[in-house]
Amino acid sequence: MFSNRFFPYLTVLFLAGFLFVAGCSKSDDQREFENQSLSAPNDYTVTPTEGEITDNDPDDWRISPMYRGFINIGTGISSFEPPYPNPMGFNQELTINIYLSKIDNLDRIKVYSFEHPSDAGKTLLAVRDDITSPSLVTPIRLNGEEISGKSGGSQANGLYRIRILDGNLNVITYGDIKIGAE
């Protein structure tokens, strides 16, 4: 079939291809984190003002294994400040601060929302592609209409999952936002 003189080359080529594919695949931890981000919203961290947490949901705003230690939700690398206000009114504006300490593989940030997991990935809310250096990303501001995708105030009441992804659609973080009265 193959002559013996081609066998070493084919072996090296095969191993190089295997290592390339293995190196590009996501870790099991990252895949599990991304699967968790696609679950239905179920609780939320209560943040009436910037920096104030009155009730914490430990599942909200964790950083993915891929970006842990390089990205923080807040205005500094060690100051965790979840998006606020939460809950929020339909006409209020949610502020999300993202701090980057390293940007080697990060060229874009995309923000999505969904109410039901079957709608994940359908509602793109914001894109930041002006990432040029480690620092605080321009705050992302979203109103209730954008998050819910609905035109009426009371129709929008509910719990929504916000997912923040990189330009390659790897999940960076996620958390739940409540629109409407608490």
Looking at residues 160-168, what average pLDDT do you find? 96
94 alpha carbon, distance to own chain's centre: 15
Looking at residues 67-78, what average pLDDT do you find? 90
- Checking if the pLDDT of 165 tops 80, the result is yes
Residues with Cβ within 8 Å of 172's Cβ and at least 6 positions away in sequence, in order, are 63, 64, 66, 67, 71, 109, 164, 165, 166
Domain that holds residue 44: 29-179
Phi, psi of 31 (to 5 degrees): -60, -40
Identify whether the C-beta of residue 81 lies closer than 8 Å to the C-beta of residue 50: yes
- Does residue 54 form part of some domain? yes
Q: What is the pLDDT of residues 80-130, one digit of tens each?
A: 999 999 999 999 999 999 999 887 778 899 999 999 999 999 999 999 988
Q: What is the pLDDT of residue 25?
A: 56
- Does residue 2 form part of some domain? no
Q: What is the pLDDT of residue 132?
A: 78
- Does residue 10 form part of some domain? no
Q: What is the pLDDT of residue 78?
A: 83
Q: What is the pLDDT of residue 12?
A: 44
Q: 167 by DSSP, 3-state: which?
A: coil
- Does residue 16 form part of some domain? no
- Does residue 4 form part of some domain? no
- Checking if the pLDDT of 176 tops 70, the result is yes
Picking from 75, 88, 82, 73, the residue whose alpha carbon sits closest to that of residue 148 is 88
Distance CA 161, CA 113 (A): 5
Q: What is the pLDDT of residues 49-66, one digit of tens each?
A: 998 999 999 999 999 999
Count the domains in the chain.
Answer: 1
- Checking if the pLDDT of 23 tops 50, the result is no
- Does residue 12 form part of some domain? no
- Does residue 63 form part of some domain? yes
Q: 106 by DSSP, 3-state: which?
A: coil
Distance CA 134, CA 69 (A): 13
- Does residue 15 form part of some domain? no
- Checking if the pLDDT of 30 tops 90, the result is yes
Q: What is the CATH number for 47?
A: 2.60.40
